[in-house]
Amino acid sequence: MIIHLENNISEESESTIKSSIETLGFTHNEVTTQYGRYFVCIGKKSIDLRSIGHLSGVKDIHKVSDPYKLVSGKWKVGKSEITIGGDLKIGNGNFQIMAGPCSIENEDQIKSTIDHLKKSNISIMRGGVYKPRSSPYSFRGLGIEGLKLWHDIASAEGIKIITEVMQVSQIKEMYDYVDIFQVGARNSQNFNLLDELGKVDKPVLLKRGISGTIEELLQSAEYIFSNGNEDIILCERGIRSFESAYRNTMDINAITILKDRSHLPVVADPSHGIGVRKYVDSIAFASVAAGADGIIMEVHSCPQKALSDGQQTLDYRQSAEAIDKILKVREVIV
Amino acid sequence: MIIHLENNISEESESTIKSSIETLGFTHNEVTTQYGRYFVCIGKKSIDLRSIGHLSGVKDIHKVSDPYKLVSGKWKVGKSEITIGGDLKIGNGNFQIMAGPCSIENEDQIKSTIDHLKKSNISIMRGGVYKPRSSPYSFRGLGIEGLKLWHDIASAEGIKIITEVMQVSQIKEMYDYVDIFQVGARNSQNFNLLDELGKVDKPVLLKRGISGTIEELLQSAEYIFSNGNEDIILCERGIRSFESAYRNTMDINAITILKDRSHLPVVADPSHGIGVRKYVDSIAFASVAAGADGIIMEVHSCPQKALSDGQQTLDYRQSAEAIDKILKVREVIV
Amino acid sequence: MIIHLENNISEESESTIKSSIETLGFTHNEVTTQYGRYFVCIGKKSIDLRSIGHLSGVKDIHKVSDPYKLVSGKWKVGKSEITIGGDLKIGNGNFQIMAGPCSIENEDQIKSTIDHLKKSNISIMRGGVYKPRSSPYSFRGLGIEGLKLWHDIASAEGIKIITEVMQVSQIKEMYDYVDIFQVGARNSQNFNLLDELGKVDKPVLLKRGISGTIEELLQSAEYIFSNGNEDIILCERGIRSFESAYRNTMDINAITILKDRSHLPVVADPSHGIGVRKYVDSIAFASVAAGADGIIMEVHSCPQKALSDGQQTLDYRQSAEAIDKILKVREVIV
Amino acid sequence: MIIHLENNISEESESTIKSSIETLGFTHNEVTTQYGRYFVCIGKKSIDLRSIGHLSGVKDIHKVSDPYKLVSGKWKVGKSEITIGGDLKIGNGNFQIMAGPCSIENEDQIKSTIDHLKKSNISIMRGGVYKPRSSPYSFRGLGIEGLKLWHDIASAEGIKIITEVMQVSQIKEMYDYVDIFQVGARNSQNFNLLDELGKVDKPVLLKRGISGTIEELLQSAEYIFSNGNEDIILCERGIRSFESAYRNTMDINAITILKDRSHLPVVADPSHGIGVRKYVDSIAFASVAAGADGIIMEVHSCPQKALSDGQQTLDYRQSAEAIDKILKVREVIV
């Protein structure tokens, strides 16, 4: 059960609501976000919602049986619309493409990428400065200095930045330079990181774990929301299966189901979703056809020379053509 | 290595070619199909193709390193176009939708389905008369009498029939009444059945096994082709994964990869691919966006009353709307 | 609900039972096996078993909610003991090792294998004469002539034969020469084949499908039992997973669970279960520790020269050492 | 290539070795652990090891092609023996059982568990004080105060403590109270955490990710080792598969393969490996039969009343019986 409180609720009303909840046999979690206040009530009692709903200070009340409550689509009228960097929007009918290299490498690469994005009317650049790598001996990214350089160039061009945060201590450090914090597949259940990102007032793009279930992804999102941040973007990026003809199995079903079960926007990552350059465009089209609110993909001026994994990265010509067709498919679907 | 022979090759030329192959250290399999003759040569020698290519009687010669050779896209110029029931075409730019119930139930159901198909300009009806069922106590279909009844009605209306064949002995029995033999996921590596379907001159739709790899599917298709039947349609129908939010994981990647690796048409089965009615349409759109040459889906006048599994079956209104949008997505993609 | 009938039941009693079942709202399947007669009743009614149990001709009556009924452990007192080739036993405390090559190759190989088996006191030889192969161009086995040769030699030495049957038409042909019919992983849901093996009076070893669930395996066994053959041996042989460090993922859990859910003996195939020679022995020990009633494994005088896949095949020395330790682990476990 | 340096190497020798490595075209990582110093050289050159091996200050030199180098079994003579809490040993022939509740609950529970352990001669107690939970609304453990309480009681009884650390900031806080830091499946690729645990001088038990590959597990261990901590225990705890008859698929193959590929001890967690109480013992026996150096399992005085997930937890009687048989299987295997 979710109780959405009035913004100007009196202390007295609040305490009446609390004692009513307790009397009914529920425990409750108080959640205050940038947009509202909620009591998330846990318990298995079956009650008449009106017994709470009529109380002073209650804006709205909803029964939500899902284990993920605040991110469930069952209580919120309409879909969430998230604002990125002050002016861009995603979700609730708004569509965004995010593109850029696997790793940020240097000034030239950043400028060249931004140039490509602007030609295709793309406003969000992806790129890694902290890279999770299977081997400790691999390149782990330029770090905070790379991010600052990137931010200097991108902000001057009106381009927003999405990049991965890997641990709690990086959040503060990165805060001034990012527009969207990305949580990678390996950290999809790093609950301490999710807790802290819930206390930030910038959007979080949360990737599904490499073998995370749809329910686990939604519960991870619930960690962020219940800590106070409603601006969450879900991301399907392929799961592990027995098939070895490609890198990951893009779970196209998940896009459709996430859109149905949650009010949050859902983005698809076709680059990791198949992991083979020549097929990335088709998987992007399919993702949009399945209902994705956005695409995040890898692009590089010369994928073969990319500092980290270029196998799934499009070059600028491929990217421009893909973007063009992505938008056409989107038009048919909406 | 595949050697495509001239149609009017002389015995002398043929024997020269054979001895040349042997001399080079290859073994060969002679394949005669409804459209041509091939020597499929197996061996690891690296040779100059011209040493065979210049021989009299050789129409064409190709190096194919794939373990599946005749169904590989590496030797055939262009994509295969398959003729169904004399006049319909699929593949090489031709798109087909096949729809109908899980199981054929009775005359009324057949007529009602055909009526629905004709209103949506669909010419191929799917339905099961032999049903593979996990439990021996479940309904196993109407059998051959059901097929005959279905054929009587459908042929009068110009509707083609696709239905599943489960064992060798059924092929002959069913031959006169089907336009496409369907091989189900559980029989995807029933090699004896595949051998025999290779000797038939009607198209075969071959479903991927529930955890069959892409390569295994192509090798199963090779069984059919190498026995003489080139008219093969591949079908992606979802694979088994750890996710339990739906029934199968539609492998959208496989559609794109099969289209690239083989010259055969590729059809998607969104009904089994996700297994939940309300999401079937989105998965159909995604499949077409990924490049499928056709869609096979379940439809029933009243899915809740369907004799066998109606959970993934669309009703007529849902089906008509889905078909409409499938065709629109197709237009953008081609 | 399973009703076990008295052997000498009168027609009158039988018809009384049938009408009682119908009155209660159940449908029933009549099953006659080599050992008894059963009515397998399907329906969701909750009844007092005594209302049937007291009827004349009823030997025993059991409520079995599992979808697999006759193979369930819920109705049979104790575990099934299966007789192989007239004198050997497996199940219910009896343990058997079955060993031999992937494919039967020639007389020398057969004799050499039997010699090895006898030295280790093993009485059952495995080997393939019909080989399911992914590629149509691979060696498919010596066929029925190979089986006859094998049988001549083995029967003279008192060695029993287990070999794979791939299609219905082979059953009759092979009948006189085999002691156990093996159903391979690819045919684990070839229901027509299972139906026919249910009509045979020789034991069937049923392998789990490469991604078959435990429940599907038990339902496939139910096909055999419900057609009249109670002599079924279940076999775990590894499933498909994302891991590529070995060939299949031996599902050690399945052995324990199958032993608990069914009264049938359970055999483990460590050769396919891991697919890498040097680890086969450890997986055999683990399987026995988990409760397996037997081990089936590949052995060849010279695995590197084996006609088909020798990667997982032990040589005679490895096999002898493994057998020795398998029996020691078995002693601790029982 | 791994160069193991002499302990008392001179600066001059060290610089000679470095310049030789560079000249050969390798980059190198300097690793100093509690036991030794290593240069881990990365590069694809094929060289004659003797060209480095003869240099002054080189204790040993090894070619290691595995992506994980220091944890590979290819360079270290014999297996690693790890000391726990000053006097206990695991690995290299030493076997340990670790048992205890899912979560630490209170003083009585701690005392009762220790009492049980001592009766079975077990010296290591497991238990969670920081619990990773899918839902933000679940009990997350007693935290550091719980750990302190536990440590007070356990240390007085000579019982060692293994418990999970979830983030970098907890390491320092927990250091004085734990004997083994446990890294859970969800943090198996939390590289920042692994880096920091590499700087600690206490053993780390590293669990495999829920769908981590064997190679990824070894690379995660490499993170710890390359940061300076050689005392690593690997742990197989079940992977995700399509099967739903149990909670995880115990990957028995992984135990055998990890033992072969690495010099580190390998522990099995049968509780999570199957996730169903009545089967845990069989999976423990199988794990030991496959070669595990230890077992970590859940036990509680009353599993049904356990604060967190008690489904896979043994009661004291079951635990005592299991321990007894585990040790008997171990005797046969060694």
Please write the tens of the pLDDT for every residue from B312-325: 999 999 999 999 99
- Give pLDDT tens digits for A212-240: 999 999 999 999 999 999 999 999 999 99
- The first and second tokens of residue C35, run together, are 């050992």
Q: Identify the pLDDT of residue D229.
A: 98
Q: Taking CB atoms and an 8 Å cutoff, what residues of chain C touch B131?
A: none
* Residue B119: other Cβ atoms inside 10 A: 12
Interface touch B167/C166, C-beta < 8 Å: no
Residue B43 has pLDDT above 90, yes or no: no
Q: Taking CB atoms and an 8 Å cutoff, what residues of chain C touch A251?
A: none
Which carries the bigger pLDDT value, residue D139 or residue C120? C120
Interface A–D counts its CB contacts (< 8 A) at 80
Nearest residue of C to residue B131 by CA position?
C191
Flag whether residue C244 sits within 8 Å of chain A, measured between CB atoms: yes
The phi, psi pair for C154, rounded to 5°, reads -65, -45
**Who contacts A69 (Cβ-Cβ below 8 Å, separation ≥6)?**
A2, A40, A75, A222
Residue B205 has pLDDT above 80, yes or no: yes
Rounded to a whole number of angstroms, the distance from the CA of C71 to the nearest CA of chain D is 17
pLDDT band of residue A43 (cuts 50, 70, 90) is confident
CB distance B211 to C210 below 8 Å = yes
Instruction: Give the whole-angstrom CA distance, residue C104 versus residue C307.
Output: 8
pLDDT band of residue B264 (cuts 50, 70, 90) is very high
Rounded to a whole number of angstroms, the distance from the CA of D60 to the nearest CA of chain C is 28
Of the residues B30, B134, B225, B226, the best mutation for testing chain C's interface (the one with the most C CB atoms within 10 Å of its CB) is B134
Task: Average the pLDDT over A243-255 and give the result.
Answer: 97
Instruction: Give the whole-angstrom CA distance, residue C80 versus residue C82.
Output: 6
Instruction: Give the whole-angstrom CA distance, residue B264 versus residue B78.
Output: 10
| Residues 11 through 30 of chain C touching chain A, CB cutoff 8 Å | none
Helix, strand or coil for residue D82?
strand
Q: Identify the pLDDT of residue C157.
A: 97
Nearest residue of B to residue A287 by CA position?
B286
Nearest residue of D to residue B244 by CA position?
D242
Residue B307 has pLDDT above 90, yes or no: no
Cα angle B316, B322, B323; round to 5: 90
Q: Identify the pLDDT of residue A109.
A: 97
Query: What does pTM read for this prediction?
Result: 0.95
Interface touch C211/A244, C-beta < 8 Å: no
* Residue D90: other Cβ atoms inside 10 A: 26
- Give pLDDT tens digits for C274-305: 999 999 999 999 999 999 999 999 999 999 98
Interface touch C289/D291, C-beta < 8 Å: no
Rounded to a whole number of angstroms, the distance from the CA of A123 to the nearest CA of chain B is 24
**Who contacts A177 (Cβ-Cβ below 8 Å, separation ≥6)?**
A147, A148, A150, A151, A161
Q: Taking CB atoms and an 8 Å cutoff, what residues of chain C touch A241?
A: 242
Rounded to a whole number of angstroms, the distance from the CA of C52 to the nearest CA of chain B is 21
Q: Identify the pLDDT of residue C310.
A: 81
Q: Identify the pLDDT of residue D44.
A: 74
Mean pLDDT, chain D, integer: 95
Q: Taking CB atoms and an 8 Å cutoff, what residues of chain A touch B241?
A: 239, 241, 249, 251
Task: Average the pLDDT over C87-102 and give the result.
Answer: 97
Interface touch B135/C189, C-beta < 8 Å: no
Closest Cβ–Cβ partner in D256, D282, D332 for C332: D332
Rounded to a whole number of angstroms, the distance from the CA of D334 to the nearest CA of chain C is 11
Flag whether residue A192 sits within 8 Å of chain D, measured between CB atoms: yes
Q: Taking CB atoms and an 8 Å cutoff, what residues of chain D touch C211?
A: 242
Chains in contact with chain C (at least 3 beta-carbon pairs closer than 8 A): A, B, D
Rounded to a whole number of angstroms, the distance from the CA of C72 to the nearest CA of chain D is 15
- Give pLDDT tens digits for D41-76: 988 777 888 888 899 999 999 988 888 999 999 988
Rounded to a whole number of angstroms, the distance from the CA of C213 to the nearest CA of chain D is 6
Q: Identify the pLDDT of residue D99.
A: 98
Q: Identify the pLDDT of residue A172.
A: 97
Task: Average the pLDDT over B177-204 and give the result.
Answer: 97
Domains of chain B, by residue range, sit at 2-62, 82-333
- Give pLDDT tens digits for C305-332: 888 778 999 999 999 999 999 999 999 9
Q: Identify the pLDDT of residue C226.
A: 96
- Cα distances (Å, whole numbers) of residue B8 to A315, B230, C194, D24, D206: 48, 20, 46, 63, 69
Flag whether residue A223 sits within 8 Å of chain D, measured between CB atoms: yes
**Who contacts A302 (Cβ-Cβ below 8 Å, separation ≥6)?**
A315
CB distance A97 to A297 below 8 Å = yes
Residue A98 has pLDDT above 80, yes or no: yes
Interface touch A240/D67, C-beta < 8 Å: no
ipTM, interface predicted TM-score of the complex: 0.96
Q: Identify the pLDDT of residue C77.
A: 82
Residue type, A75: W
**Who contacts A108 (Cβ-Cβ below 8 Å, separation ≥6)?**
none
Q: Identify the pLDDT of residue A139.
A: 85
Flag whether residue B334 sits within 8 Å of chain A, measured between CB atoms: no
Q: Identify the pLDDT of residue D307.
A: 83
Q: Identify the pLDDT of residue B65.
A: 86
Instruction: Give the whole-angstrom CA distance, residue A182 versus residue D107.
Output: 41
What CATH class has A2-62?
A: alpha beta
Residue C86 has pLDDT above 90, yes or no: yes
Q: Is A58 left (phi over 0), alpha (psi -120 to 50) or beta?
A: beta
Task: Average the pLDDT over B31-42 and give the result.
Answer: 94
Q: Identify the pLDDT of residue D48.
A: 84
Q: Identify the pLDDT of residue B239.
A: 97
Nearest residue of C to residue B28 by CA position?
C137
Closest Cβ–Cβ partner in D213, D214, D249 for C253: D249
Flag whether residue A244 sits within 8 Å of chain C, measured between CB atoms: yes
Q: Identify the pLDDT of residue B263.
A: 98
pLDDT band of residue C76 (cuts 50, 70, 90) is confident
Lowest mean pLDDT among B29-43, C94-108, C255-269, D101-115: B29-43
Q: Identify the pLDDT of residue C138.
A: 87
- Give pLDDT tens digits for B107-162: 999 999 999 999 999 999 999 999 888 889 888 899 999 999 999 999 999 999 99
Task: Average the pLDDT over B288-310 and give the result.
Answer: 93
Closest Cβ–Cβ partner in A246, A260, A285 for B289: A285
- Give pLDDT tens digits for B220-244: 999 999 999 999 999 999 999 999 9
Interface touch D242/C245, C-beta < 8 Å: no
Closest among B117, B91, B84, B107 to B298, alpha carbons compared: B117
Flag whether residue B244 sits within 8 Å of chain C, measured between CB atoms: no
What CATH class has D82-333?
A: alpha beta
Flag whether residue D243 sits within 8 Å of chain B, measured between CB atoms: no
Instruction: Give the whole-angstrom CA distance, residue C85 versus residue C92.
Output: 17
Flag whether residue B118 sits within 8 Å of chain C, measured between CB atoms: no
Q: Identify the pLDDT of residue A272.
A: 97
How would you list the strands of the sheet with D2-5, edge to edge?
D27-32, D37-42, D2-5, D58-62
Q: Identify the pLDDT of residue D43.
A: 82
Instruction: Give the whole-angstrom CA distance, residue C98 versus residue C226.
Output: 27
CB distance C298 to C271 below 8 Å = yes
Task: Average the pLDDT over A289-308 and give the result.
Answer: 94
Residue A309 has pLDDT above 80, yes or no: no
